[in-house]
Amino acid sequence: MSAPIEQIIKPREKDLGDGFVVRRILPFHNRKMVGPFIFFDHFGPVEYAPGKGFDVRPHPHIGLSTVTFLFEGAIRHKDNLGNDLVIRPGAVNWMKAGRGICHSERTPDPERAAGQSMHGIQTWVALPKEHAETAPDFVHHPADTLPEFDLGGASARVLAGTAFGHTSPVEFPWGIWYVGAEADTGANFTIGADEAEERALYVAFGSASINDETIEAGQMVILTPRVDVQVSVSAGTRFMLAGGEPMDGPRKIDWNFVATDNTRIEQAKADWRASIEGNWNDTPFTLPEGEDEHIPLPGE
């Protein structure tokens, strides 16, 4: 394997039904995180006929921020803080779970009626220890608020952190580096050694090459720290750059919960169970307004 490459991670694919395929990249058995990124999923593309749609019933999170970025389609986000809005390609939905949040993700009514193609990336970033129990929050960042720049011929947008001299308005209390880019006619660029301590390149579709090593669609390449990396991407490639400062210790991940120890995760499970049994009245978790469904704990 070439010197700039530390590891190549191949996806594990799972069909969730109705042609909805998810490619799970992180966590990987010998690479749990890249910077604060602890979970990296590539979903779709999937075609929904008129009258059909995407429905993720209300479910809880703790200890992380979820980050949704779309290539195609639209998703309606609702949470128990009262947020209710639609994300479309190029924008970023940044949800901080902190000590606990509940949300749903569904196809918006107009797209459900007309049908749509949906395709995107969902990542989770672990909150640093001192922020893990902060109040939950949600911020939507429209595409035109995120800095866009030319990356060697690719059209790139900084989704979080600072990259290639451009800084995103997204606030996160840890060193993070996150870029989405598309190269309609191909691109050639250098990822500098000082861009981020931990760096990864993910090819959503198309292909890239580093020192004659080809990275195919669906693969993530972990870059060797503290070296300049020359990257070439083929025409029509969509790719993501993700990483940042190494996290302040390992994390445990169980279902939708992220924490530094099992005790906190078991408490979150008990809180979700109690909320279901208490019918969401004065319970640790509540449902988003207008929702009457939920996802039970695995096995329950």
Sequence-ordered list of residues with C-beta below 8 angstroms from that of 65, at least 6 positions apart, any chain: 94, 95, 96, 97, 124, 125, 127, 172
200 inside domain: yes
pLDDT at 298: 94
Residue carrying structure tokens 């445990």: 252
Contact indicator for 253, 39 with CB cutoff of 8 Å: yes
pLDDT at 16: 67
* Calpha distance 62→259 (Å, rounded): 8
The two tokens of residue 12 are: 């594990």
Specify the pTM: 0.95
* Calpha distance 2→213 (Å, rounded): 7
252 inside domain: no
54 versus 58: the higher-pLDDT residue is 58
* Calpha distance 5→19 (Å, rounded): 33
276 inside domain: no
162 inside domain: yes
Whether residue 2 is predicted with pLDDT greater than 60 in this model: the reply is no
Residue carrying structure tokens 């190269």: 183
What ranges in 144-191 are assigned the alpha helix state H?
none
pLDDT bucket at 120, cuts 50 / 70 / 90:
very high
* Calpha distance 129→139 (Å, rounded): 21
Contact indicator for 19, 46 with CB cutoff of 8 Å: yes
* Total tally of structural domains belonging to the chain: 1
Which of left, alpha, beta for 169 (phi over 0: left; psi -120 to 50: alpha)? Answer: alpha
**CATH code (residue 120):** 2.60.120.10
pLDDT bucket at 272, cuts 50 / 70 / 90:
very high
Q: Which of 8-22, 132-146, 153-167, 239-253 has the lowest mean pLDDT?
A: 8-22
Structure confidence by residue, pLDDT tens digits, 59-106: 999 999 999 999 999 999 999 999 999 999 999 999 999 999 999 999
278 inside domain: no
What ranges in the chain are assigned the alpha helix state H?
109-114, 262-277
pLDDT at 257: 97
Three-state DSSP class for 110? helix
CB atoms inside a 10 Å sphere around CB 244:
25
* Calpha distance 104→273 (Å, rounded): 17
| Mean pLDDT rounded to a whole number for the chain | 95
Whether residue 276 is predicted with pLDDT greater than 60 in this model: the reply is yes
9 inside domain: yes
pLDDT bucket at 18, cuts 50 / 70 / 90:
low
Structure confidence by residue, pLDDT tens digits, 138-181: 999 999 999 999 999 999 999 999 999 999 999 999 999 999 99
CB atoms inside a 10 Å sphere around CB 188:
14
Average pLDDT over residues 256-282: 97
* Amino acid residing at 214: T
Average pLDDT over residues 209-224: 95
The share of the chain scoring above pLDDT 90, in percent, equals 93
pLDDT at 13: 85
* Amino acid residing at 67: V
The residue range of the domain holding 206 is 5-244
